[in-house]
Structure 1
């Protein structure tokens, strides 16, 4: 277990265990009064003094400074990596438990603790605990703002923007996402993984806000940047890391250097770029999309699909079905949407994507004239939506559900969905305001 207490307490305990006086420990290089100040916590020894005291107390400097023996620190570092591997494998519950165990054991190692807290925040996001993830990430963001020399601001902002979008806070999402993109542009990293990730979040948020033109402009800008050769991006990350170090942003510099090393080991940009392509395809598919736009979207989606897995594949296929609808192929859209639902049946954590897939299926079934089958899909979607917390994002889905109920011929269900859309948006319908609900169906 880690050594308890402060540096001074560990010095005092070891000195007493070896029956040394303060003067004997001080020797000729230090004074006994200085040793007394260290032991009382009124002075923090420099690294050179820590090494000197460790040699006289028969321990390693790491134990005095951190309270953790090197072998134990190595074990904790391995445990952090195992937790990160669990997160990458999609086991958020196990990752959260492992990160929690690590945090309980690293009170005296701020660097390992920060890495574990960063992993814990991402595990909370992956598990769908959005509010807790935001709280943890905001703490990390605040610390990064106070201490740029040790903490990385950029990766925290990228994930935090994604969490705020999931929570339905579009304004906060855009503010954070645009600040991250501005920093990435300064560093020459618009073709990197971070830009692709925050870019897809911003594109989706612009679309949520109804700003299709801005979404398309950003998509075109980032897609062009993402075509850079990996060797060019390695050089860009190295250059950005040096710049961050010169600016005193040591935590960011270290993160960017690690990204450059990761690129040497493989194609880590592939998944991020594939997700960017899916978001970019979505920006090409509003309700009035042209066949040319739908064809271009299909090209992006086909290029992305092979590099994705799990829920990401499902999201890609939903947009593929939408493209087919725009091209006048509703039968193909039905087949694709049914495939998505079959594959998601055994995939945890895909409830929102399941809802989107059912809506896509219902839309395609209405287009093929299969209204009863469409109503079956819509009623299942209504049940699933009832389980989601109210938010602006939920309100938009209720609104779409109402439109589809109307197209399938169930007016009563349509009105109920519109009412729930109002309630999810924070409004309460009343008899005298029933015309508001009715008017929703006319737009």
Structure 2
């Protein structure tokens, strides 16, 4: 286990256990007063001095500086990598537990390792949907980053908090954090890599107003620079490397285990980036539906590329269906109601009977396409009723606010209004408010669609 205390505590403890005086430890190379300053914490030994002291005290330099032996440190590093693999390709709840165990093992003497483990745990909480706990963890880390910038960088934490606050419904806080991060990123001229892509994802969710706003301009620039790269499904290779790393660790070959784990993480990175950029492209395409034709054409290319990314991964069926719905909306905006209806049908086929907001939205698109073709309002209303039933099923499963479901209810209310179903319209708008976390709407009141937006 790691030694408690500071470097000075370890030097003093080892010196006393070996019944050495400060002068004996100093020897001919150092002064006893300098040793005293190190033990009192007033001086930090240089790497050369640390090696010299470690030799005289009969320990490793690693232990003297960090309170942990080399084998313990590499095992902790391996634990971090296996927890990361669990987060990216396994179970986020298991990842959170493993990161938590590393925090306990690393301790305060190994502040860098402990900080990285706490960051991993915060990300795992977010991946589980435990947004409140994730916000609390990220906020603590951000305070630590302000006090100890050598341990943690503030910028990724700011981006993560913006994303979490947006999902928690605190749009103003999310927008402020994203704007702060954008200022930093612009100063660095950063347009590639995970931080830039994560910020673009946060901005496209939090920005409102003109497509020429600084945030959305940055999103467009990120998409122009990075595009939506193709992704190869290398899941089997990742798990094979992961299993080999575990086997190497069990054989006490920690160095090889770390190398294999690094290979597994690196193998999965291109697909993770492609998924993130595909999500940004789809969010941008949703905004572009209401823009000019040139913008819609560019958005259609991006959405098509995003759809191709998801199509290669069976576990991304929901995202693939969502991309088809976005493409259907773009077709509707261009007046191609038949093409929109076909794409919405393909989305439902992709979902294979699974319920959710995407399937409900696909039915809304089919109803809107029918209205555009001049179908009788009553026939379109039947399709809207199917969407309503799907959303009602979700209402019993989710008790927390959900912006996506609120948006679909609001769109359902808009379409009920178009077919003249006033009762359905009022009920849908009320459900939109409830899904957004507003549950005190007066029974019987007529809700304007703008309130649910």
Relative to the length of structure 1, the TM-score reads 0.76
CA contact (8 A) 1:340 1:357 kept: no
1:325 aligns with 2:326: no
Counterpart of 1:118 in structure 2 is 119
TM superposition shift of 1:73: 0.3
Counterpart of 2:168 in structure 1 is 167
Counterpart of 2:410 in structure 1 is 399
Structure 2 distance, partners of 1:105, 1:304, is 41
1:36-89 CA distances to partner (integer Å, 9 max, x unpaired)?
6655x4545423443332111110121122211011101111111111122221
Inter-CA distance 194–32: structure 2 relative to 1 (3 Å threshold):
closer
Partner of residue 278 from structure 1, selected from 271, 278, 282: 282
Inter-CA distance 146–440: structure 2 relative to 1 (3 Å threshold):
closer
1:378 aligns with 2:388: yes
TM superposition shift of 1:104: 1.3
Structure 2 distance, partners of 1:385, 1:90, is 28
1:214-237 CA distances to partner (integer Å, 9 max, x unpaired)?
4764544333333699xxxxxxxx
TM superposition shift of 1:109: 0.9
Counterpart of 2:188 in structure 1 is 187
1:17-416 superposed matches below 5 A: 17-30=17-30, 35=35, 39=39, 41-47=40-46, 48-107=48-107, 108-206=109-207, 209=208, 211=210, 214=213, 217-226=217-226, 270-286=274-290, 294-308=296-310, 309=313, 310=316, 312-326=319-333, 327-329=336-338, 330-342=340-352, 345=354, 354-365=356-367, 367-368=369-370, 369=379, 371-385=381-395, 387-390=398-401, 395-406=406-417, 411-416=422-427
CA contact (8 A) 1:294 1:324 kept: no
| Helix, strand or coil at the partner of 1:132 | helix
TM superposition shift of 1:30: 4.7
Inter-CA distance 418–312: structure 2 relative to 1 (3 Å threshold):
closer
Structure 2 distance, partners of 1:49, 1:216, is 53
Structure 1 distance, partners of 2:176, 2:452, is 33
TM superposition shift of 1:370: 5.3
CA contact (8 A) 1:181 1:190 kept: no
| Helix, strand or coil at the partner of 1:304 | helix
CA contact (8 A) 1:403 1:441 kept: no
CA contact (8 A) 1:141 1:156 kept: yes
Counterpart of 1:429 in structure 2 is 441
TM superposition shift of 1:112: 1.0
Query: Which range moved further: 41-50 or 129-138?
Result: 41-50
For structure 2, the 5+ residue unaligned runs are 230-261, 371-378
Inter-CA distance 314–196: structure 2 relative to 1 (3 Å threshold):
farther
TM superposition shift of 1:213: 5.6
Relative to the length of structure 2, the TM-score reads 0.74
CA contact (8 A) 1:200 1:280 kept: no
CA contact (8 A) 2:3 2:10 kept: yes
Inter-CA distance 52–290: structure 2 relative to 1 (3 Å threshold):
closer
Structure 1 distance, partners of 2:446, 2:271, is 51
For structure 1, the 5+ residue unaligned runs are 230-257, 346-350
Inter-CA distance 182–440: structure 2 relative to 1 (3 Å threshold):
closer
CA contact (8 A) 2:406 2:432 kept: yes
1:157-201 CA distances to partner (integer Å, 9 max, x unpaired)?
222222122112222222222222232222222344433332232
Q: Pairwise CA RMSD of aligned residues?
A: 3.7
Number of corresponding residues: 396
